[in-house]
Amino acid sequence: MEVILKEDIANLGHRGDVVKVADGYGRNYLLPRKLALQATATNKAVIEQMKASAARRAATEKAQAEKQVTQLEPLVLSFTRRAGEQGQLFGSVTSADIAAELANQGFEIDRRKIQLGEALKSLGEFVVPIRLYREVTARVKVKVLAEAPEVPPEQAEASAPAAQESAAE
């Protein structure tokens, strides 16, 4: 079965491509989800018009993405987390955390665009790629810092009189 893709589909093709797929895949997946059209003469004419508008839209989206890269590259995001002795975090920094921090700084970026292989689970400085468009990727520095250890109230009270005594001497 030949279909015309209406959306980019991984491992199959880009929007507007005419591809040959298995009948079941086309009938049961692509067509019901409106990801493709059957490749007929009239649909091919419609797709040509869609390709022209898509090319214009792609050019503007790519330009916006490149502009956003220049704004994102100098950013350094800092996260403070509780950590153990060897620098391992109790928890992690995920792509959702990074997206939330970017939103706080005025950048609305979908967490799925953040190319974080697995969550950051140790202290340090990391470079995280953010795929804004097909060929446009921004690289943002992420620092994971250790949270200052909290002093339990019992120890704080015990050390306070000792500090007062040493100050009095």
Domains of the chain, start order? 2-61 (3.40.5.10), 71-146 (3.10.430.100)
Give bridge partners of residue 20 from the DSSP assignment: 2
Query: Average pLDDT of 79-97?
Result: 89
Q: Which pTM was predicted?
A: 0.61
Query: Average pLDDT of 84-92?
Result: 88
pLDDT at 31: 92
Query: Average pLDDT of 146-169?
Result: 58
Is the per-residue pLDDT at 120 higher than 60? yes
Query: Average pLDDT of 139-167?
Result: 67
Is the per-residue pLDDT at 151 higher than 90? no
pLDDT at 117: 86
Residue 26 CA to residue 12 CA, distance in Å, equals 12
120 burial type by CB count under 10 A (0-12 exposed, 13-18 middle, 19+ buried): buried
Token pair, residue 34, equals: 């409106």
Secondary element (H or E) of residue 65: helix 41-72
Residue 80 CA to residue 118 CA, distance in Å, equals 18
| CA 4 to chain centroid | 29
pLDDT at 7: 84
Is the per-residue pLDDT at 100 higher than 80? yes
Phi, psi of 15 (to 5 degrees): -55, 130
Q: Give the pLDDT confidence of 31-81 residue by residue, as tens digits.
A: 999 999 898 888 888 778 877 887 888 889 889 989 999 999 898 999 999
The CA distances from residue 5 to 8, 62, 149, in Å, are 7, 20, 55
In Å, the largest CA–CA distance within the chain is 97
pLDDT at 60: 92
Average pLDDT, the chain: 85
Residue 73 CA to residue 92 CA, distance in Å, equals 23
